[in-house]
Amino acid sequence: MEGNGTAADKGANAGKKPVKVVATGTFDILHQGHIYYLTESKKLGDELHVIVARDANVRHKPKPVVPEHQRVFMVGALKTVDYAHLGNIGDLFKPIKEIDPDIITIGFNQFFDLDKLRDDLKKRGLRAKVVKIGAFEGNGFSSSREIMHNILKERCPRFMESGENDGSVSEGSGGVKSSDAKSD
């Protein structure tokens, strides 16, 4: 899915090959942490390609609430994003190979082994530099789990107080069991 045109359309880097940046993520419920990650990623190049995780590939946290086709549409509508792509179910590196980025950004709470990622890219003949983006430091919600937890707390207080929630959503856990707690 295309976003808001290419960097060339915006006059950036006219006459030169654009510097392509790839950012990846689930982007389940968009929030300011996502916007910060994508804005900082875009600053590193001319074109920002965002690969949105397929529902089937999300195994490190609960399955997304928002379906993949809606998540890629929302990400593609952001003005900082030039191109939004759904990931590949069978080969996570396939879209990276197709895009052939100069830079791949990793969010502060994405748990990649950066050395292994660099080695995997090199083995596949990909030359991209890997850059870790820092955390959003502002106030307010900066995680999908925080937003979901607040929705349940504010709109469904009886659910939060009852045993109906099977313990997966509780006060002080950011909306997940502490044993499952990972940032998104």
Q: Which residue has the tokens 């994508």?
A: 38
Higher-confidence residue: 165 or 130?
130
Q: What is the pLDDT of residue 167?
A: 47
CATH number of 8-132: 3.40.50.620
**How far apart are the C-alpha atoms of 54 and 98, rounded to whole Å?**
17
Residue 92 CB partners (closer than 8 Å, separation 6+) = 57
Return the domain boundaries, the chain: 8-132, 144-180
Q: Is the pLDDT of residue 179 over 90?
A: no
Average pLDDT estimate for 152-162: 81
Local confidence band at 176 (pLDDT 50, 70, 90 cut-offs): very low
* pTM for the model: 0.77
**How far apart are the C-alpha atoms of 132 and 184, rounded to whole Å?**
15
**How far apart are the C-alpha atoms of 7 and 18, rounded to whole Å?**
7
Q: How do residues 75-117 score in pLDDT, each as one tens digit?
A: 999 999 999 999 999 898 999 999 999 999 999 888 889 999 9
Q: How do residues 35-84 score in pLDDT, each as one tens digit?
A: 999 999 999 999 999 999 998 898 877 788 999 999 999 999 999 999 99
**How far apart are the C-alpha atoms of 78 and 5, rounded to whole Å?**
11
- Write the DSSP symbol of residue 63: P
Tokens of 51: 């690969």
